Structure 1
Amino acid sequence: MRASSSDRVSTRALRAALPGTCARVVDGFERHLRGERGLSEHTVRAYTGDVISLIAHLHGVDQSAPPEGGPAEDADLAGLDITELRGWLAWQHAAGAGRTTLARRAAAARTFTAWAYRSGYLPSDPGLRLASPQVHRTLPGVLSPAQASAAMRAGDSRGTDGGGHGDGVTGEGADALTLRDRAVVELLYATGVRVSELCAIDLGDVNVTDQLVRVFGKGRKERMVPFGRPAARALREWLSRGRPALAPAGEGDRQQALFLGARGGRLNPRTARRVVHEAVAPVEGAVDMGPHGLRHSAATHLLEGGADLRSVQELLGHATLATTQLYTHVTVERLKAIHDRTHPRA
């Protein structure tokens, strides 16, 4: 019986069991992902873990039990062909991996074999023939424009930082966090940026006068995103009255961050998610959502307002137009629902 994913050994233990040459190849691939590709730490960890599993499968390392002793006899990537790649994915499927997970692991394998071929570790690139499982991509629920406006208004009176300022923030600090939370929600909805992009924004990246913000997306790709007057007002309030109350003394990363946490450090995505959840919760009929839901809502409202797909792609920082086209399904479904509900002969 195949082991479930929860029964498998840790990636660290599996990495230690790889043949020495293969372990050095994994180290090189990890440096490539982080340094040359500029991928996020989350993606680097996921892709590296997938490749460790692939190489372990290639050399028969048991992934369902802790390896005994040191690494296996030294070996290279010889034998890594399309049959091995398909066999590894079949093993993953038998172990319970879903279609989305399998698609990501196939993408990791293709990225690895392409790099290994260019680096001279493989005589050819078997990943070129590896197909990904078709993923049924769905989008979460979105806010209506009226619900979005209500969520923005809810942010005006909020004074929480992940549960009522349980860390003891009161007075001027609590007022500052209220201003921050309002600015966070307004900017997320106004721009449709990812929560990781929002938290990485520095003071120098924002031009409140011109209502533009510079963000760095996946692969450190830079783009300029406009925002409207409500977000600009919220940012001015945060910068003039909120941020100074939380800003720490001294220099460094904290001093550069646009948004700060209750203790003066750079705002982290977990807190930003709580802020959005609590802003949306009081809105009647709204689905529970975090920052990604606001991103989906912004994209949907742009398209419903007449924006073209190419412009929305640029604003959201999508690598391909196919990703942006998913939002057209949302708008069509909403139009059908409105038609069914309102047309006398629906």
Structure 2
Amino acid sequence: MSRSIERVIRTYLDHLTVERGLAANTLASYRRDLGRYAQALAARGITDLARVTPRDVADHLAALREGDADHPALATASAARGVSAVRGLHRFAVRERLAETDPTRDVRPPTPPRRLPKALDVTQVTALLGVPDDSALGLRDRALLEFLYGTGARISEAVGAVIDDLDLDASAAILHGKGGKTRAVPIGSYAVAAIGAYLTRSRPHLVAAGRGSHAVFLNARGGPLSRQSAWTILRRAAERAGLPADGPHGVSPHTLRHSYATHLLDGGADVRVVQELLGHASVTTTQVYTLVTVDRLREVYATAHPRARG
């Protein structure tokens, strides 16, 4: 069977269409990426897949990142997609015995930069936590928001907490995290006060409306508060505090968790302590927050140091 690059690409795209059932937009992206690859190889005088070397593939990756006279430079994510399409093509060719070796085996797509977590500053957090009123549901909402920010809990950990998980006298709580793992975390005085007010002045009225749930946070019918309802509480509070509530930059339950970690590190907490508080299995996961604090340090340095700017 011919191993011409154009023919193998057509066969591979047919495979993706029939066997893999890829969406039309995805197929169009693959067709565009592989068409550019075929053109790049043809410019080198390569029309047979068997003649492609790892160097050819690596040079193609560099061209994607740097751009040329006919193509603008691609962002990391787009370049990674292009390389993935090329790798898929060569793997398919080896599997179908259209080629003996895979020149992309040791070529890795570029790693997208780690997205820094969104974090609110202390003023924004204060505005958010000050939104709920002193009604029964308002006391619950304030307790929930203070709990999320005061413990760094995931939304699932907050709505999954039961009364026995709280020890307000010791200013501590037990959180039930991923994989069935539990951890003890301290609760700050503001959160303790808000939760205490909710438990004594609000929750008994909510319990009376339901079936005696043991969940800490209850809905208006006395049942356990759902994740979706907790999200709605936060979104409405964000709107009233003048913070973005929707879209990619909107405040989410995870925003409060990010803010908790960032503010701890800004205050001098050790990254391994923050790792334990967040329930991360690896400190590597927590270290992304140090990137945020380094950016903050740069800002302070740039504005405060006499030799920071020319």
- TM-score bucket of the superposed structures, by smaller chain: 0.5 to 0.7
Q: Which residue of 2 aligns with 1:308?
A: 270
Aligned AA (1:193) = A
| Cα deviation 1:22-64 (Å, max 9, x = unaligned) | xxxxxxxxxxxxxxxxxxxxxxxxxxxxxxxxxxx9xx85535
Aligned with residue 63 of structure 1, among 21, 24, 33: 21
Is residue 171–residue 186 contact of structure 2 (8 Å, CA) maintained in 1?
yes
CA distance in 2, matches of 1:308, 1:300: 11
Is residue 210–residue 222 contact of structure 2 (8 Å, CA) maintained in 1?
no
Count of aligned residue pairs for this structure pair: 220
Aligned with residue 268 of structure 1, among 222, 226, 247: 226
SS in 2 for 1:281: helix
Q: CA deviation at 1:344?
A: 4.5
Q: Which residue of 2 aligns with 1:277?
A: 235
Q: Which residue of 2 aligns with 1:153?
A: 130
Aligned AA (1:332) = V
Q: Which residue of 2 aligns with 1:226?
A: 186
Q: Which residue of 2 aligns with 1:166?
A: none
CA distance in 1, matches of 2:129, 2:116: 22
SS in 2 for 1:307: coil
The 3 A distance-change label for structure 1 pair 320 and 135 is: farther
* 2:157 corresponds to 1:180: no
CA distance in 2, matches of 1:330, 1:323: 13
The 3 A distance-change label for structure 1 pair 249 and 141 is: closer
Q: CA deviation at 1:274?
A: 2.1
* 2:149 corresponds to 1:189: yes
CA distance in 2, matches of 1:258, 1:94: 50
Is residue 148–residue 253 contact of structure 2 (8 Å, CA) maintained in 1?
yes
Q: CA deviation at 1:284?
A: 5.9
Q: CA deviation at 1:204?
A: 1.0
Q: Which residue of 2 aligns with 1:199?
A: 159
List alignment gaps of at least 5 residues for structure 1: 1-56, 66-89, 103-128, 159-174
Q: CA deviation at 1:238?
A: 0.9
CA distance in 2, matches of 1:279, 1:289: 10
The 3 A distance-change label for structure 1 pair 143 and 210 is: same
Q: Which residue of 2 aligns with 1:339?
A: 301
| Cα deviation 1:68-98 (Å, max 9, x = unaligned) | xxxxxxxxxxxxxxxxxxxxxx99x9499x9
The 3 A distance-change label for structure 1 pair 263 and 95 is: farther
Aligned with residue 212 of structure 1, among 161, 172, 176: 172
Q: Which residue of 2 aligns with 1:295?
A: 257
CA distance in 1, matches of 2:305, 2:233: 38
Q: CA deviation at 1:144?
A: 1.4
The 3 A distance-change label for structure 1 pair 133 and 282 is: same
Q: Which residue of 2 aligns with 1:239?
A: 199
Q: Which residue of 1 aligns with 2:115?
A: 138
| Larger gyration radius, structure 1 or structure 2 | 2
Cα RMSD, aligned residues only: 3.5
| Cα deviation 1:184-223 (Å, max 9, x = unaligned) | 1101000111111111111111111111111111111110
Q: CA deviation at 1:232?
A: 0.7
Q: Which residue of 1 aligns with 2:217?
A: 259
Aligned AA (2:165) = D
After TM superposition, list the pairs within 5 Å mapping 1:80-99 onto structure 2: 94=30
SS in 2 for 1:154: coil
Q: CA deviation at 1:262?
A: 2.0
CA distance in 1, matches of 2:258, 2:180: 21
List alignment gaps of at least 5 residues for structure 2: 1-14, 33-75, 81-105
Is residue 281–residue 288 contact of structure 1 (8 Å, CA) maintained in 2?
no
Aligned AA (1:302) = L
**What TM-score comes out, normalization by structure 1 length?**
0.55
Is residue 303–residue 328 contact of structure 1 (8 Å, CA) maintained in 2?
yes
SS in 1 for 2:297: helix
Q: CA deviation at 1:263?
A: 2.1
Q: Which residue of 1 aligns with 2:61?
A: none
Report sequence identity in percent: 42
